[in-house]
């Protein structure tokens, strides 16, 4: 079965129209159950004392009445505006019949306030109130979300805006928060069960015989045949871009579907700061505003040297601040297409609330290449023997001695690599044989598209890092998995079988990821900043979430300055339970 872009767009539109028509009636029906609230419009809350309630809330996103878990009845939850240098107190009351939690993503705070059940606190039991209190030591754009079960998927997330003590290094006259998310009427447990039964359950864009004949016309029989043979031998697909797609997801902007359509108003002469947050469970978005250049001024809450772009990819849990200057009397599309092109989130930056922007066309579906699998690109179309040899290497069990040797050779001179426990077997179905740093690569689906696309190589901190300490040691984390069986792990070991990672308080640590899978993984280390190595040691940007491209490697440095126990994981929700580590700092 295949679904065209136009069919998906039309389906998304129709679902949204139906949702608008049925919203009032469905809310009334569900509200008859005393524990279900009506949905409220997302609001901003300011100050240093906040009261948040976690509830079941009636929603209708797609035309089918459903129930979300929300903060104060809002989807997205309320935007919390704090002030750098103040102390905030946040009372969170759990009105659900299950435990809940709130994690303050990217916020530097004491261990007990981080909000991860089983790591930093026990969670919030039904009927209980937990009070978070911590000093605000930073400024910028962040977000919060549940760290309990699949509640993040069902609606417990919201934005955080922290105003600086000192004046920003850039000016703007108006600002908007833009939260991107993915909604499904299916229960998350059902989505996860389907993925475990068949990892490509939601992928309706697999190759067909017709595609093969088209490839023969384009590449010739020999190349087309070997390309197909290579992927088949590895039991992989070059179209496995997203685990969960627009088949079940409706993509939201500030809680609005494409049909209900979020609108941001501007006036003549406005210079607008847009705070983009990817608060989705599983979706990477490619964001552009056709007709407008974007000036990127911050990444993950930290100011960067401004860079002008047409488009950026925002991974799950990342944030980017951009400044735009729209012309008079024109509506611009705030367009965020999913990485697999199965749908999009949509809004309008407009001078008039009654005027909506024209919807841009989605780009063609991305196709993974051997580069995205970390393969040796010296192979040519005449190298059938080499290609088959490579396939055997990809499936060869890990040799731990060889692995440690290879890890050591990847490190800059003088940094010792701390060996970590690793495993092979069914959970390590693939391995990147030639992983490269691809910091100037915008990623699959964005290469050579005629637009200036942001890459990590473009990010340079405003603050000089020239005199920062050099790392004292390095650890290497291989991101491993078996897509066919939907198993995820780190160094071939699932979380339940893994020892904690031991960090030493006060050390400067280098961490290198090698992605042995075909998926992008947004890796998030709690409690400490990640100083991303982008090629210029003088201006390393600070991030809280680092995207690791398929078949690639990437490194960052950490000042280990927070004692206690911290979570460390992939931020794709259905990967998180296994691609996870506990970090102990002592």
Tokens 């705030």, residue?
A: 334
Give the residue-averaged pLDDT of 495-500: 96
Q: Quick one: pLDDT band at residue 19, thresholds 50, 70, 90?
A: very low
User: Over 90: is that where the pLDDT of 369 sits?
Assistant: no
Candidates 157, 191, 197; CA nearest to 177 is: 157
Candidates 248, 237, 439, 275; CA nearest to 338 is: 248
The rounded percent of the chain whose pLDDT value lies above 70 is 81
User: Over 80: is that where the pLDDT of 226 sits?
Assistant: no
Give the residue-averaged pLDDT of 234-242: 66
CA distances from 74 to 78, 93, 269, 346 (A): 6, 15, 32, 19
Lowest mean per-residue pLDDT among 41-55, 139-153, 158-172, 416-430? 416-430
Give the residue-averaged pLDDT of 365-389: 52
User: Over 80: is that where the pLDDT of 300 sits?
Assistant: yes
CA distances from 6 to 3, 208, 344, 357, 364 (A): 8, 19, 12, 18, 11
pLDDT digits (tens, 9 = 90+) for 540-576: 999 999 999 999 999 999 999 999 999 999 999 999 9
More confident residue, 410 or 266: 266
Q: Tell me the sheet residues that pair with 404.
A: none
* CA 182 – CA 533 distance, rounded (Å): 30
Is the four-CA dihedral 522, 523, 526, 527 of positive or negative sign? negative
* CA 107 – CA 438 distance, rounded (Å): 28
Range ranked top by mean pLDDT from 201-210, 255-264, 384-393, 401-410: 255-264
User: Over 80: is that where the pLDDT of 230 sits?
Assistant: no
User: Over 80: is that where the pLDDT of 210 sits?
Assistant: no
User: Over 50: is that where the pLDDT of 488 sits?
Assistant: yes
The pLDDT of residue 400: 38
Candidates 249, 257, 247; CA nearest to 347 is: 257
The pLDDT of residue 6: 37
The pLDDT of residue 200: 84
More confident residue, 409 or 82: 82
Interhelix angle for 221-233 vs 209-219, to 10°? 130
Q: Quick one: pLDDT band at residue 430, thresholds 50, 70, 90?
A: confident
The pLDDT of residue 402: 37
pLDDT digits (tens, 9 = 90+) for 87-104: 999 999 999 999 999 999
Mean pLDDT for the chain overall: 86
The pLDDT of residue 376: 52
* CA 408 – CA 192 distance, rounded (Å): 37
Q: Quick one: pLDDT band at residue 242, thresholds 50, 70, 90?
A: confident
Give the residue-averaged pLDDT of 448-460: 97
* Ramachandran category for residue 255: left, alpha or beta (phi over 0 → left; psi -120 to 50 → alpha): left
The residues, ordered by sequence, that sit 6+ positions from 383 with a Cβ below 8 Å of its Cβ are none
* CA 508 – CA 573 distance, rounded (Å): 29
Backbone angles phi, psi at 404, to 5 degrees: -65, -35
Give the residue-averaged pLDDT of 303-324: 98
* CA 330 – CA 112 distance, rounded (Å): 49
Q: Quick one: pLDDT band at residue 427, thresholds 50, 70, 90?
A: confident
Question: Could you tell me the pTM of the whole model?
Answer: 0.86
Candidates 229, 337, 235; CA nearest to 286 is: 337
Q: Quick one: pLDDT band at residue 130, thresholds 50, 70, 90?
A: very high
251 by DSSP, 3-state: which? strand
The pLDDT of residue 382: 32
The pLDDT of residue 201: 83
Largest Cα–Cα separation, the chain = 69
**Extended strands (E) in 329-400:** 332-338, 344-350
The rounded percent of the chain whose pLDDT value lies above 90 is 74
pLDDT digits (tens, 9 = 90+) for 501-517: 999 999 999 999 999 99
């Amino acid at each position: 079965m295949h679904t065209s872009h136009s069919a998906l767009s039309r389906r998304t539109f129709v679902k949204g129209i139906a949702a608008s028509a049925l919203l009032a009636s469905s809310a009334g029906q569900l509200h008859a159950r005393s524990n279900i609230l009506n949905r409220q419009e997302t609001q901003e809350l300011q100050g240093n004392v906040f009261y948040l309630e976690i509830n079941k809330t009636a929603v209708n996103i797609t035309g089918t009445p459903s129930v979300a878990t929300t903060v104060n009845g809002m989807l997205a939850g309320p935007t919390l505006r704090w002030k750098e240098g103040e102390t905030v107190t946040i009372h969170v009351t759990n009105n659900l019949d299950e435990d809940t939690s709130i994690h303050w993503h990217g916020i530097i705070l004491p261990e007990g306030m981080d909000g991860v059940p089983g790591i930093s606190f026990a969670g919030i039991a039904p009927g209980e109130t937990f009070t978070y209190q911590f000093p605000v030591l930073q400024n910028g754009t962040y977000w919060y979300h549940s760290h309990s079960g699949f509640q993040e998927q069902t609606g417990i997330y919201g934005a955080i805006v922290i105003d600086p003590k000192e004046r920003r290094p850039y000016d703007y006259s108006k600002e908007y928060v833009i939260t991107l998310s993915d909604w499904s009427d299916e229960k998350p447990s059902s989505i996860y069960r389907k993925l475990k039964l068949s990892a490509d359950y939601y992928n309706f864009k697999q190759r067909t015989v017709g595609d093969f004949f088209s490839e023969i016309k384009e590449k010739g029989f020999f190349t087309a045949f070997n390309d197909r043979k290579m992927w088949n031998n590895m039991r992989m697909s070059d179209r496995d871009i997203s685990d969960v797609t627009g088949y079940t997801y409706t993509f939201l902007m500030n809680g609005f579907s494409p049909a209900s359509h979020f609108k941001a108003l501007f006036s003549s002469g406005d210079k607008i700061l847009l705070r983009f947050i990817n608060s989705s469970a599983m979706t990477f978005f490619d964001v552009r505003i056709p007709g407008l250049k974007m000036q990127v001024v911050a990444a993950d809450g930290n100011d960067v040297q401004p860079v002008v772009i047409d488009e950026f990819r925002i991974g799950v849990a990342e944030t980017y601040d951009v400044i735009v200057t729209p012309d008079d009397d024109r509506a611009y599309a705030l367009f965020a297409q999913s990485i697999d092109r199965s749908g999009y989130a949509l809004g309008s930056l407009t001078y008039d609330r009654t005027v909506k922007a024209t919807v841009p066309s989605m780009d063609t579906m991305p196709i993974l290449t051997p580069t995205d699998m970390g393969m040796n690109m010296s192979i040519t179309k005449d190298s059938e023997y080499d290609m088959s040899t490579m396939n055997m290497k990809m499936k060869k069990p890990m040799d731990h001695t060889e692995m440690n040797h290879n890890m050591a050779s990847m490190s800059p001179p003088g940094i010792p690599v701390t060996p970590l426990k690793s495993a092979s077997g069914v959970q390590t179905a693939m391995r990147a044989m030639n992983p490269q740093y691809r910091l100037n690569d915008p990623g699959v689906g964005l290469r050579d598209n005629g637009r200036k696309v942001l890459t990590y190589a473009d990010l340079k901190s405003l603050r000089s890092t020239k005199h920062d300490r050099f790392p004292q040691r390095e650890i290497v984390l291989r991101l491993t998995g078996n897509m066919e069986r939907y198993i995820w792990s780190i160094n071939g070991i699932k979380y339940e079988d893994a020892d904690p990672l031991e960090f030493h308080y006060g050390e400067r640590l280098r961490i290198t990821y090698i992605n042995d899978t075909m998926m992008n993984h947004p890796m998030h280390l709690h409690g400490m900043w990640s100083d991303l190595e982008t090629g210029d040691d003088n201006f390393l940007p600070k991030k809280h979430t680092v995207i690791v491209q398929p078949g690639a490697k990437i490194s960052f440095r950490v000042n280990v300055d927070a004692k206690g126990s911290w979570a460390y994981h992939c931020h794709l929700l259905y990967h998180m339970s296994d691609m996870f580590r506990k970090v102990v700092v002592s």
